Amino acid sequence: MPHPSPAEPSTKPLVVLGIETSCDETAAAVVRLGEGVETLSSQIGVQFDQHRPYGGVVPEIAARAHAEVIDQVIEAALHEAGLGYGDLDGVAAAAGPGLIGGVMVGLSAAKAIALARDIPLIAVNHLEGHAVSVRLTEAAPYPYLLLLASGGHCQLLAVEGVGHCVRLGSTLDDAAGEAFDKIAKSLGLPYPGGPALEKLALEGDPARARLPKMLADRKSCDFSFSGLKTAAARRAELCETEADRRDLAAAAQAAIADQLADKSAIAMRLYAESHSTGRLFAVAGGVAANGEVRRKLAAAAEAAGFGFVAPPLKFCTDNAAMIALAGAERLQRGLVDGLDAAARPRWPLDAEAARDRPLHAPGRKGAKA
Ligand code: KG4
Ligand code: ZN
């Protein structure tokens, strides 16, 4: 099938099925990209119950659980959209970064559909999905500045256009969602910890538990959460009452939100120096579901003279609509992949920055971000 060159995006409306299996959500969705974006369906099966006894995601359990339900989830997405396989212009799957067993389940399903229906396959970077997630519901023209804060990633990116992101900053250790999850665990909260910690923090007084401010004196927009995580875990052992636990949850949440907002403010200044347009700040990823984080980021954007957009909560955490949209935007430009597309456990969005400014010495496992 001939595809337009990347320079001349096709204007024909495109219907794309997206598949997402890179962590513990098995998701499928259908998006139509024409003049605007329409999410025709979005199905998400979560595996929380299978992982809860272990306090976190177990890769092997996740992969098996994806394999068991992927067919039904895809059928349900097509059914919700009122469409059949014959209506699809392309099929997109998250091909990484993520837990490799799960990624292979979703990517293999997409390859099978592409082969059987003779439609293009688009192997989407999961992070590119998060990067476009605001475009599912908001007018967010390229370029914009993005904070991507999830369970596995925490980075600030200039999103310049389709498939083109420039990394301004990243975490030196844990991701923000990981910090939420681990602090929640030390407070005895069930997995997934972020939403549970936000609930506990509701009635807490953040001023009653002092926690360290990480990298506060640095002018870069890199993040660090591991010291905060350790300090909060130590304090959790000293909590005697429910009020102590609430206050610690509130203090930890405030500390994470403050760091995200402070580093985003630095990134907005850097971004403004190199961009004469696109004064828009977007947040994406599971941590963007947190009310305090959203409030502090919105305030930082206002102070910097930027507009602020955040996806609705259902598109903050992992979903397949964002994969379908990233796939449709690539397909519009003829950016499609062969059936030999590889599943990738690691896949930096900004390959140049990852090569020239690695955050970790070679051979070390380092941050997932
Ligand atoms: O984007 P996501 O679903 O998966 C990844 O790609 O990692 O993000 C999941 C992360 C988890 O760490 C979860 O605890 C966190 O997002 N999260 C939250 C909230 N909802 C999800 N963290 C804080 N407050 C929330 N309301
Ligand atoms: Zn994600």
Inter-residue contact 4 to 14 (CB < 8 Å): no
Q: Interhelix angle for 242-274 vs 176-186, to 10°?
A: 170
Q: How does pLDDT run across 259-280, given as a tens digit for each residue? A: 999 999 999 999 999 999 999 9
Determine the average pLDDT of the residues in 212-219. 78
What share of residues in the chain are helix, strand, coil (percent, to 5)?
Answer: 45, 20, 35
The alpha carbon of 184 is separated from its chain's Cα centroid by a whole number of angstroms, namely 20
Domain borders along the chain are 14-135+315-356, 142-310
Q: Which residues line ligand 1 (CB under 6 A)?
A: 23, 150-152, 177, 180-181, 192-195, 198, 285-287, 289-290, 317-318
Q: How does pLDDT run across 230-266, given as a tens digit for each residue? A: 999 999 999 999 999 999 999 999 999 999 999 999 9
pLDDT value for 363:
39
pTM: 0.92
Q: How does pLDDT run across 162-192, given as a tens digit for each residue? A: 999 999 999 999 999 999 999 999 999 988 8
Inter-residue contact 29 to 326 (CB < 8 Å): no
285 CA distance to ligand 1 middle (Å): 7
Within 10 angstroms of residue 288's Cβ, the number of other Cβ atoms is 28
d(CA 228, CA 281): 26
pLDDT value for 226:
93
CATH tag, 14-135+315-356:
3.30.420.40
pLDDT value for 353:
78
Q: How does pLDDT run across 120-168, given as a tens digit for each residue? A: 999 999 999 999 999 999 999 999 999 999 999 999 999 999 999 999 9
The DSSP bridge partners found for residue 158 are 145, 166
For residue 253, give the ligand 1 atom closest to its CA: 23
Candidates 61, 22, 64; CA nearest to 44 is: 22
Q: How does pLDDT run across 21-59, given as a tens digit for each residue? A: 998 889 999 999 999 999 999 999 877 787 788 777 788
Q: How does pLDDT run across 299-350, given as a tens digit for each residue? A: 999 999 999 999 999 999 999 999 999 999 999 999 999 999 999 999 988 8
317 CA distance to ligand 1 middle (Å): 6
298 CA distance to ligand 2 middle (Å): 21
14-135+315-356 and 142-310: same fold? yes
CATH tag, 142-310:
3.30.420.40
Does residue 210 or residue 369 have the better pLDDT?
210
